[in-house]
Structure 1
Amino acid sequence: MAGTSGQTEASVLDAALDEVLAHGIRRTTASDIARRAGVSRQTLYRYWPDVQALLAALVTRELFAVVPRGGSAGSLDEFAAGMVETADRIRALPLVDRLRETDPELFSRYILERLGTSQRGIHREIAARVEKGQDAGFIRPGHPDRLAAMLLLIAQSAIQSAPLVAEWLAPEDWRRELRCAVAGYLAIRDEG
């Protein structure tokens, strides 16, 4: 029975993604999602208390799908490359483009006002990787949570604002400059 529950949840989230891509978050309703998923609205409410919670779960699922878990880099260059690859994957998500286009106030809420589940999860993953890099001796000293918080801000800003600077940073330039920013921020400095 647990498999059926998981399948229903995935089906509803898939339907929600299709609706958001077609209409944006503001114009997506519980009825639209239920209809597309082939379930009743009451079924939706068995999994999520409201549409906002369902859509938050959708965003979290989509972001976590492209964020690698565990593992560790063997060098600062590999660490920075991994950060850039993940940021690039997030940047390329159709959901991110659609939200930027149709629901910019949602973006600003998660940039200016509050941290979401996705951001907290990504921060935890970055902090764990920073700590591994410190233990391996290629990332500078500092509290991993603080370093990860700044890396989250750097990556989030680069992802969100990339279209604003597209005339100066083609995608390959964007990746190269973000890699330099990450590596430069984490590099061990010779204070001598």
Structure 2
Amino acid sequence: MVDGVPDTVSAILDAALEEVLEHGIRRTTASDIARRCGIARQTLYRYWPDVQSVFAALVTRELLAVLPEPHARAEDLAALVDTLVDTAERVRRLPLVDRLRDTDPELFARYILERLGTSQRAIHAELVRGISAGQRAGWVRPGDAAQFAAMVLLIVQSAVQSAPLVIEWLPPERWRRELSLALTGYLRVPS
């Protein structure tokens, strides 16, 4: 785009990711990010008001990058659930998610327990779209698609966040299966 803005934004977020993966959020400063990126700190502040805003943009970018394409349409409930579980697994495997869980659990918890971020709102909107399409096709139970999407978000978010806690009982392949069963049971049309 004009004046290389998208490239600068991407470069800053790439540098922020490298710093956070190496040092964690608490130990990463705007100066660290700017230095790694090869820009002046003031340049970073042209795009974000503070380093916390950079981190929020970074988390949003990383989470949105693993979402399926918006035009992808599931043909049936199994395909929708597979997409949800695949996406949850991609989020679970993000190096940034692991790093936040390990080094900055308070920040991780704030985004899970206290506020809805941009990425969560985008995920909810996509869930509403997919659930509504399934309802129109008759393979998702009738009801308020926005409420169903909120519950699916809670189920998946909890499964992603807490997966390391239960790995002795739910190794990755069983985690996928059990999450799939939970989502299928929640969304399917009753017999």
Fold shared, TM-score > 0.5 on shorter chain: yes
Give 4+ residue runs of structure 1 displaced > 3 Å after superposition.
none
Kindly indicate whether residue 109 of structure 2 is the aligned counterpart of residue 108 of structure 1.
yes
What residue in structure 2 maps to residue 128 of structure 1? 129
User: Counterparts of 2:184 and 2:3 in 1: how far apart (Å)?
Assistant: 43
Query: Corresponding residue for 2:39?
Result: 39
Instruction: Determine whether 1:63 maps to 2:63.
Output: yes
RMSD: 0.9
Instruction: Please give the TM-score of this superposition, normalised by the length of structure 2.
Output: 0.97
Q: Tell me how far 1:178 sits from its aligned partner.
A: 0.3
TM-superposed deviation, 1:3: 5.9
Pairwise CA distance, 1:107: 1.6
Unaligned runs of 5+ in 2: none
Structure 2 match to 1:189: 190
Q: What corresponds to 2:165 in structure 1?
A: 164
Whether the 8 Å CA contact 1:70–1:125 is kept in 2: the answer is: no
Q: CA deviation at 1:162?
A: 0.2
| Structure 2 counterparts to residues 24-103 of structure 1, below 5 A | 24-68=24-68, 69-103=70-104
| Paired position in structure 2 for 1:4 | 4
Q: Which amino acid aligns with 2:108?
A: F
1:36 partner amino acid = R
Q: Distance in 2 between the 1:143 and 1:96 partners?
A: 30
1:109 offset after TM fit, Å?
Answer: 0.9
Cα distance 1:3–1:185, how it changes in 2: closer, same or farther (>3 A)?
A: farther
Q: For the residues of structure 1 that align with 2:96 and 2:112, how far apart are their CA atoms?
A: 17
Give the TM-score normalised by structure 1: 0.97
- 1:72 touches 1:133 (CA, 8 Å); kept in 2? no
Counterpart contact for 1:90–1:96, Cα < 8 Å: yes
Amino acid at match of 2:96: L
CA distance in structure 2 between the partners assigned to 1:138 and 1:168 by the alignment = 31
Report how far residue 70 of structure 1 moved: 2.6
Percent of aligned pairs with the same residue?
A: 63
The residue identity in structure 2 corresponding to 1:15 is A
Task: Tell me whether 1:174 sits opposite 2:175 in the alignment.
Answer: yes
Once residues 7 and 112 of structure 2 are traced to their aligned partners in structure 1, the CA distance between those partners, rounded to angstroms, is 32
Amino acid aligned to 2:59: V
Residue equivalent to 1:145 = 146
Q: Which amino acid aligns with 1:137?
A: G
Go from structure 1 to structure 2 and tell me whether the alpha carbon gap of 1:177 and 1:50 turns closer, same or farther (over 3 Å shift). same
